[in-house]
Each structure stands twice: as C-alpha cells, then as structure tokens.
Homo-oligomer: A and B are copies of this chain.
Amino acid sequence: MHNSHKAALVVDLGGTKIITAVVIPDGSVVSRNYCLTLANDGTEAVINRMLSDIDAVLAKTGIKTSNLCGLVVAAAGIIDTINGVIKTSPNLPGWRDIPLRDILANELGIAVYIINDASAAALGEHRFGNGKGVDNLIYLTVSTGIGGGIIMAGELYLGTDGCAGELGHMTIEPQGPKCNCGNSGCLEVLASGTAIAKEAERRLGQGEVSAILTLVDGRFGDITAKTVAMAAKQGDALACQVVARTANYLGIGLANLINIFNPDVIVIGGGVSKMGEMLLKPAREVAKKKAFQMPAQTVRILRARLGDNAGIIGAAAYIFDCNRV
C-alpha cells in the first residue's frame, strides 16, 4: 500500500485523558479509544498506558503497524517538534525534556511525530473544518489555557524549533496577573477559562451577589467558566460583566493577530468557545474596532467546527502532509 493511502495512528495526550485513534486520509476517525492519563503516576506509567491503548486500538481495527503511515502524538505545551521532545507541558506535571518520539519509535518500530495540540487543531480546521481551503488561518483555543496554531500560505508554520504559535502568551497587560509561563499579563491569564473562573471568584469573595453562587451551592471552588456562562445566559449581572471583560481581552488579542497576520480566518476553539456568540460577538467587535481597517474587513472570526476531534484529525493531517512531501 502506498504511504499516502495508509491510515494514521494518533494520540491526543491530555492532562485528564489520553485519546487514541485511527484516522484515514479523508479525515474520518475510524476508531477511537480513551483512558485516563493519571499524570501523577509519572512519565513511565503514562507512556505504558499510551502503548497499551495503542495495542487495543490496533487490535480492535485489525490494522498492523506496517499498514500505518506513522504515529503522531499531540500534546499541550512547548514541543521541540524537530527532535520529538516534550520540553514542558502545563497538563503533564513533571514532564521535562521527555524524548517521547524516540521512546515510542523504539517500542513500535514506526515513524513517530510529536506536535503541539493547538498547532494540530489549526491544521485540522484548515484541512477539514472551518478554514478549509483558505491561505492564511490562525487558530486560537480558549480553554483552561490559551493555545494557538498558525497556517500560512496553506502550510502549518511551526517556527525554528517547532514551538511557534504560543498566541496565549502575548503580553497584553504588563501589570496584569502572573501567568503560569512565568511572565505577567499574558492573554491566557486574562481571557482563558481559568481566568473567567478566577475573576468571578475574586468578585464574589468581595461579597458581590450573583446567581453563580447558587449554581455551585455556595462552593467557591466549584466555580468554572461553564458556571459563569450559565449565569450570564440567565442575565446575571456579575456573570455578564465577567464575560464582557473576557471578550474585551480576547478582542485585544484578536486585534493583535489581525494586525500581525492579516489572515483570511481566525478560528476559535476550546471549551470556552462553546459560550458561542455571547462571547464571540463582543470579542469580534473589539477586535474589528482596534485593528487596521483593511485586515479587519478581510478576516472572518469563526468558531471551530471539529470540536474535541480537532486535535486528532489535525495531528493525522500533519502526518499525511509529511508523507505527501
């Protein structure tokens, strides 16, 4: 079988769960498995869980490794794509400089690629989702953190080491709160799901009144971006203000990306994007007001289409691309 017709084996290595899947060249997911990551068990235990899930998926589909064009692992964090090393990952505490490509390639005897999950999702949306066929696409995932991916002239741009696209770590408020990356006032610490929950918590802690507290039965620790979104949908004033604040910061980040990249499309994915137009409409308005007129008129700011499968499908697209060249 020619490589270009072979299926791709894909692992989405997340902080909570590991998804293992087989994807065929038209972007269809033909098999999908998952297990818990249990990252605290340590690197070796997690890698063993990946390997046994890979075995399970291959057994289920009856595909032999010789009939795969390779394995791609998509993970959050700073990935040295060139050398296949996970440098650091916010979701995988203790993972530092793990040469995952070589470890897995030795075990499986196939080509292995390691890629940032948001870069993978950018490629997924470009090949099979809401940016199909455009030249220039920026992908922003707004979730626990904020990640990004860059497609330029139709190709995924990964930078010199393979870690380009850390769009959540633009400083947009130098005096802003400390970010997990060590810097201050990053887009991520101002507009992520975590930021939404924290801002609601902060204001409730000052004694402000809101339906959010009822939704979590008074338990501050249970407040998430989702609870804030639910309260905002009910018209709760504090929740609406928190969403508006998030939309404003997101709009500033989007304006920066419009001025820098003059893209056809910005696709927004991740859990927080499920708020939909309640968040995206004001964010779009801020972005279009702040950016230069010509690129602001050109860009379409859309929600992601592939949802939770964007990373898997995009990672597969990455390996299909590598084999095409």
A residues in contact (CB < 8 Å) with B: 78, 80, 87, 135-136, 148, 150, 152-153, 155, 157-167, 169-174, 181-183, 252, 255-256, 259-264, 290-295, 298-299
Contact = CB atoms under 8 A, between A and B. Distances in A.
A256 B80 contact: no
A135 B160 contact: yes
A78 B294 CA distance: 8
B160 A264 contact: yes
Contacts of A171: 172, 252, 255-256, 290
Given A152-B157, A171-B252, A172-B171, A163 B260 contact: no
18 contacts: A78-B293, A78-B294, A87-B294, A136-B159, A160-B299, A162-B262, A163-B295, A164-B260, A164-B261, A164-B262, A165-B262, A170-B170, A171-B172, A172-B172, A173-B173, A183-B255, A183-B290, A260-B260
A159 B262 contact: yes
A111 B269 CA distance: 43
Nearest to A264: B160
Contacts of A182: 290
A314 B78 CA distance: 33
Question: This chain: how many copies in the complex?
Answer: 2
Contacts of A181: 292
Given A174-B173, A181-B292, A298-B160, A166 B136 contact: no
Contact of A261 (B80, B153, B159, B290): B159
Contacts of A158: 262
Contacts of A162: 262
4 closest A-B pairs (Cβ-Cβ)? A159-B262, A164-B262, A166-B259, A169-B259
